[in-house]
A and B are shown apart, each in its own frame.
Chain A
Amino acid sequence: KGNGDAFGLDWFKTNGQNLKAAYPISQFYGYTQFPNVRHPFYWEQLVYRRDVIKAELVKLQAKGAKPLQPSNDWELAAYHGFPEWRPHPEHKESRTEYDLYAMNYKGMEHFYGTNIDNVWLMEWAKFYNPYIMKIVMHPDAAKAKGVKDGDMVVVESMFGPTYKVEGEVKTSNTTHRQVVAIAGAYGQISANVNPVAKDGANFCALLKLTSEMSVSGNIDKDVKVKVYKKMAKAEINEKAVKTAKAEVNRQGIGGEVR
């Protein structure tokens, strides 16, 4: 039974909404191991857990498992009781060519990743939302890179040339000068999603698991990137016209089009 069971409908009729302090403040910090501590500075349970894991690993090795490699030491090294600050991977990046930060945000229509394969929402996002399916940059940053609205660019992450996405540029003053904003969770590659979810730039393609996330288990979502032009808008249009003309000629509609 939870604490709330003590307050029935009658209680609410008398007292209204539960805006009064019905519980002592200490109850909100329900640490079972440390009932008198509100903000433990030293996390003993992590140290305890490290010892348990270590013992388990020793047992596994006794059964014939491979011994822990020196490069795997970090798995246990992160289990210590004191808080520590570690720089984000992008803070350690010193190469000047990776001068922009890629950030992920959510658009209104695709606030949750699960509705990206909704065809109506995707139809709207693709044809009418000016930002959400594009790579959004500050106008000054775009100018410095020599790109304009509508140009096709490649965003390459600091983790290497395989960590990259492509997309159409949209310049906007809603974005910081040092930021490349890529929305949502588009460009999904799973075979088992609606094909409409495969459109757009896949932000996750820029990310890589690093040792900084060993305890939290979360992937670091900010990454330094470089942006370069792949194709100008004029070239894209020219290519589209050429393809359309070739299609018309192939079908033999209304004579040859040059």
Chain B
Amino acid sequence: MRYGLVIDLKKCVGCYACVMACKAENFVPRNIFWNKVFVKEEGKYPDARITYIPTNCMHCKNPPCVKACPVPGATFKRADGIVDMNYDKCIGCRRCEPACPYGVRSFVSAIEPYNPKFGFTPYEKMGLTKHKAKKSEKCLFCSHLLAEGKKPACVTTCPGYARYVGDLDDPKSEVSQLIATRKGYQMQKEKGTDPSVYYLAP
């Protein structure tokens, strides 16, 4: 079993719903985004075209962040392919940030309310138990939802149905079929990280 994500760039409309769904589901602190959408512009007017490239943790098979982490167990690879974190063990040395070729690691320097004048909202208070200051964070593939048999928040919220989640080890799974038929590719394959996130060309 190896969880994988397939993102169909043909279907992505750049609505940033995945960005917001991730933020809402995981109580991601201020100034941090686990899920980002990069914008690529090509061509000359009037034939210019914008491609939206959603990016989150690639959950690599050979994760360089795990190798860079000096504390065993702070960032670790699970049997189901998810690169998970133990915030209690993370010492906030930030070595994982330059090690990650995809730039998906974020350092929480401080957990601040969105409006400092009025303090934390009831929603932000709920998130205080899930995040800690001076720790490095990243997408955890909504493993708490997967454990309940649900799909990650970014997948269920996508209005263009551009995201698919499934088992990469199963050749009959939807994700494996999509990768095979639509020639799915990995980002920065030459780095040898073997990411679990595949893209389908626009």
B-binding residues in A (CB < 8 A)? 108-109, 119-121, 123-124, 127-131, 138, 172-177, 194
Contact = CB atoms under 8 A, between A and B. Distances in A.
A174 B20 contact: no
Nearest to A111: B15
Given A128-B33, A128-B36, A129-B39, A120 B20 contact: yes
Given A108-B14, A173-B44, 20 more contacts: A108-B15, A120-B20, A121-B16, A121-B20, A123-B30, A123-B31, A124-B16, A124-B20, A124-B33, A128-B33, A129-B39, A130-B39, A131-B39, A138-B45, A173-B45, A173-B48, A174-B45, A174-B48, A175-B45, A194-B115
Secondary structure of the A contact surface, majority rule: loop
Contacts of B48: 172-174
B41 interface: yes
B126 to A, nearest CB: 15
B201 interface: no
Nearest to B45: A173
A108 B19 CA distance: 12
Nearest to A109: B16
B43 A173 contact: yes
Nearest to B113: A119
Interface string B41-84: 10111101010000000000000000000000000000000000
A139 to B, nearest CB: 9
Interface in B15-46: 15-16, 19-20, 23, 30-31, 33, 36-37, 39, 41, 43-46
B114 A119 contact: yes
Contacts of A175: 45
Nearest to B37: A128
A177 B37 CA distance: 27
Contact of A174 (B16, B50, B115): B50
A173 B50 CA distance: 10
6 contacts: A108-B13, A119-B114, A123-B31, A131-B39, A138-B45, A174-B45
A174 B41 contact: yes
Contacts of A172: 41, 48
